[in-house]
Copies of this chain bind each other. A is one copy, B any other.
Amino acid sequence: MNFSSDNVTGAHPAIVAALAEAAAAGAMPAYGADPITESLNARFAEIFEHEVAVFPVATGTGANALALSALTPPWGGILAGQDAHVEVDECGAVEALSGARLMTVATPDGKVTVEALAARIAPIRKGDQHQVQPAALSITQATECGTVYSPAEVAALGAFARAEGLRLHMDGARFANALVGLGCTPAAITWQAGVDALSFGATKNGALAAEAVVFFDKALAENFLFRRKRAGHLVSKMRFLSAQLAAYLDQDLWLKNAAHANQAAADLALGLIDLPGVDLDYPVDANEIFIRLPLGIADALFRAGFHFYPWGAPPADPATEPGLYRLVTAFDTAPAAVTAFIATARKAAEEIA
């Protein structure tokens, strides 16, 4: 009954089983020379229909900061949404590991647009030694608003990036959820749309702690081993990151997990949306819901033991104005929890009326 985040979850049994198997497998070379890690490049290449260079790391912040450090010189700028995780929730890790500056634009629905980016960089004098020069663009898929960029939207950003000499990074902490929401191929939403590097997340969607930096342009990965180690992000028994990733991809577990989470989110939204005073701030494209709830409904849910966060600034008059809340579903969200959440909300709505 916890809808506060997808990182409050445990891990999927199949991934745990893969870890247990790897743990019992006896000696393997450390630092990524083990067969599980060595199989990842081919596996990711198959999934993305493109040659890739894959680097497992233990955290999403590490993945983002290291990936971006490979896409910009220290005097570069990284364009991103004002609400992007790299800006809001990583304590300056991107700047610390890359040296670069984040340059943000407003994202009314979590998505950066070519128009906003163009306006943001218009005043910057190209090549002027006084000014931080935009070098990369980082977008989040699914976004921080639970919306999802379409392939066409990413392609437009990719074209803009190429035209402006920027590299394109995708923060895919919820990449599987986005992909399932879109129903397209991994290729269509990444390199075919101009993405140079992807932070491929598994942790939120069933792994314990496993992310991967995926480069579609292998030249960008040339020095990545040094970047990763120098930041302390080279895990010695790499098999344990890689086993998580391998199991995550095996038999479409990643897509099944994401489909489960997305369905739970859709069910939840559908079950709530017709209640009086309830409204969605954004379309529910993946596994996050941003919903307005009257105080009486929210309070009834909290009293019933549901966990979820109020979001953003509180309403001016909470008594009369519905507040914004975030609900996040996950690979392990129980259908019964969804049903119970809806039932509790509906009952509270009736009592209010």
Residues of A within 8 A of B (CB): 1-2, 4-5, 7-13, 15-16, 19-20, 22-31, 57-66, 73-75, 88-93, 95-97, 99-102, 122-123, 129-133, 203-204, 208-209, 223, 225-237, 239-241, 307, 312-313
Contact = CB atoms under 8 A, between A and B. Distances in A.
A59 B236 contact: yes
Given A11-B237, A23-B208, 11 more contacts: A4-B27, A7-B237, A8-B29, A10-B27, A16-B19, A58-B58, A74-B230, A75-B229, A92-B100, A97-B232, A208-B237
Given A23-B208, A129-B31, A61 B240 contact: no
A231 B97 contact: yes
Contacts of A22: 10
Interface centre among A74, A89, A122, A227 (most CB of B within 10 A): A74
B230 A75 contact: yes
Given A93-B232, A132-B91, A23 B11 contact: yes
Given A30-B7, A101-B95, A240-B11, A59 B24 contact: no
A27 B204 CA distance: 12
Contacts of A97: 231-232
Interface centre among A28, A73, A101 (most CB of B within 10 A): A101
A24 B89 CA distance: 27
As for how many copies of this chain the complex holds, the number is 4
B10 A229 contact: no
Contact of A130 (B59, B63, B74, B89): B89
B225 A237 contact: no
A206 B88 CA distance: 36
A60 B236 contact: yes
A136 to B, nearest CB: 14
Given A22-B10, A97-B231, A203 B133 contact: no
A215 to B, nearest CB: 16
Contacts of A307: 27
B25 A10 contact: yes
A8 B27 contact: yes
A69 to B, nearest CB: 9
Contacts of A60: 236
A163 to B, nearest CB: 20
Contacts of A62: 232-233
Given A226-B73, A226-B75, A27 B11 contact: no
B102 A101 contact: yes
A173 B16 CA distance: 25
Interface centre among A29, A92, A99, A100 (most CB of B within 10 A): A92
A9 B238 CA distance: 11
B123 A203 contact: no
Nearest to A26: B10
Contacts of A13: 23-24
